[in-house]
Amino acid sequence: MTTHPQSHQKWFVGVDVGGTKISTILVDNDFKEHGQLTVTTDLANPDYTLTSIISAIEKTLARAGVHRDEVVAIGLGVPGQVDAQSGTVTLAANLNWYDFPAGELLSGALGVPCFLENDVRVAALEIYRHVSHEGIESLAYVNIGTGVAAGLILEGRLYRGAHGMAGEIGHIVIEPDGLTCKCGARGCLETIAAGPAIARAGQEAALQQTDSLLAGHTPVSTQYVYEAAQAGDRTALELTRRVGQTMGRALQALVMSYDVERIILGGGVTRAGDTFLQPILETWTNLRHGSPLAESLLQTNMIHLSNPNQNMGAWGAATLANHHMRHL
Ligand SMILES: [Zn+2]
């Protein structure tokens, strides 16, 4: 008699909870994928958002013919501040979740242990799963999108810090007299290098430099700033160089603070690819000149762009679920 090949399988579900969509992935114990699903996030109220997550998980399982009793754990990556211990989302403005006990509510509704973590840290875990075989034990994943934040893996472990805020480099003050950030401070890294900041700078430049390509494309998007830079537009190149210099110095600070051996850049802004990366590498090359310390620590081949087509959020959340079960 043959048994069903999946009858003794241990299943894990990873969920990337975004402000516009929810993506799930179902994997077995060997991290082989058995299904995924993307649905729209219901933002009508916090409970409806939770219901849309539950329904996405149930649909993913039903499609694969997996019963929820067979699921060992579910991981969720959330865009905000998370108390990973209790599963409470302290602050996720995009989801309108404030001190929301999402982990407890989800575990209760599904009858499966659910673990939550900030989405950027979840992505860092996923990257670590891919590079640990290279012997890399300390890395930073830096997301540059609507904000800027880093997820840190130090000596093989996810590093959260005392308040789960380790790696929030988007709020390091770069220009004390700069623009006001959504956190209330002035001149944070996010006010220069995040997507909305680049678009805003592009828009301002378009009004002043009427001979720039940007002037013909108002309102200017972040993507268009990089397209114009790639086409050789001087105004756009000035903007992308400024972003690259600021990011390059922020990444230098990360290396000097944590001595990471790999930096992976992801998020919407990094879709510009080499046009985004080159000014950062040039900044590092300049920092290396004349400084033996910088020369030994800042290797330009340490910085990589993530694969924009890989759903790191959902995969990382599955990795989170797997980690928790192994460490319990
Ligand atoms: Zn800030």
d(C-alpha 196, C-alpha 283), whole Å: 22
Q: Residue 124 C-alpha to ligand 1 middle, in angstroms?
A: 22
Asked whether 93 and 126 are in contact (CB, 8 A), the reply is no
Geometric angle at alpha carbon 198, from 194 and 203, rounded to 5°: 150
CA 114 to centroid of chain Cα atoms: 20
Instruction: Measure 245 CA to ligand 1 centroid, in angstroms.
Output: 18
What local confidence, expressed as pLDDT, does residue 7 receive?
A: 56
Tokens linked to 320: 């989170």
What is the whole-number distance in angstroms between the Cα of residue 130 and the centre of ligand 1?
A: 31
Q: CA 73: distance to chain centroid?
A: 22
* CA 85 – CA 103 distance, rounded (Å): 10
| CA 313 to each of CA 96, 122, 212: distance values in angstroms, whole numbers, following the listed order | 19, 6, 37
Centre of ligand 1 from the C-alpha of residue 119, in Å: 18
Could you say which residues of the chain have pLDDT below 50?
1-5
Q: 320 CA distance to ligand 1 centroid (A)?
A: 28
Q: DSSP readout, 293-304?
A: HHHHH--GGGEE
Instruction: Report the candidate in 50, 40, 44, 48 with the shortest Cα–Cα distance to residue 76.
Output: 50
* Crossing angle (nearest 10°) for helices 274-288 and 234-258: 60
Rounded distance from Cα 146 to ligand 1 centre (Å): 12
Residue-level pLDDT at 3: 41
**How far is it, in rounded angstroms, from Cα 10 to Cα 6?**
8
Helix (H) or strand (E) holding 262: strand 262-266
Residue 43 CA to ligand 1 centre (angstroms) = 25
83-97: per-residue pLDDT in tens?
A: 999 999 999 988 999
CA nearest neighbour of 298 among 229, 232, 250: 250
User: Which pLDDT score, from 0 to 100, does residue 76 have?
Assistant: 98
Rounded to the nearest angstrom, the distance between the alpha carbon of 278 and the centre of ligand 1 is 25
Q: What torsion do the CA atoms of 218, 224, 229, 234 make, to the nearest 10 degrees?
A: 0
Measure 145 CA to ligand 1 centroid, in angstroms.
14
How many CA atoms lie less than 13 Å away from 285 in the CB half-sphere?
8
**What was the pLDDT predicted at 310?**
83
How far away, in angstroms, is 149 Cα from ligand 1 center? 11
Residue 112: how many other CB atoms lie within 10 Å: 20
The beta-carbon contacts of 54-61 under 8 Å, at least 24 apart in sequence, are: 54/106, 54/109, 54/110, 56/15, 56/22, 56/24, 57/13, 57/15, 57/24, 57/110, 58/110, 60/13, 60/24, 60/25, 60/26, 60/35, 60/36, 61/11, 61/13, 61/26
Q: Which domains does the chain have, with CATH numbers?
A: 11-118+311-327 (3.30.420.40), 125-305 (3.30.420.40)
What are phi and psi for residue 19, nearest 5 degrees?
-70, -15
Q: What pLDDT was estimated at residue 324?
A: 83
Residue 2 is predicted with a pLDDT of 39
**What spacing in Å lies between the alpha carbon of 29 and ligand 1's midpoint?**
40
User: Number of helices (H) and strands (E), helices first, in the chain?
Assistant: 10, 13
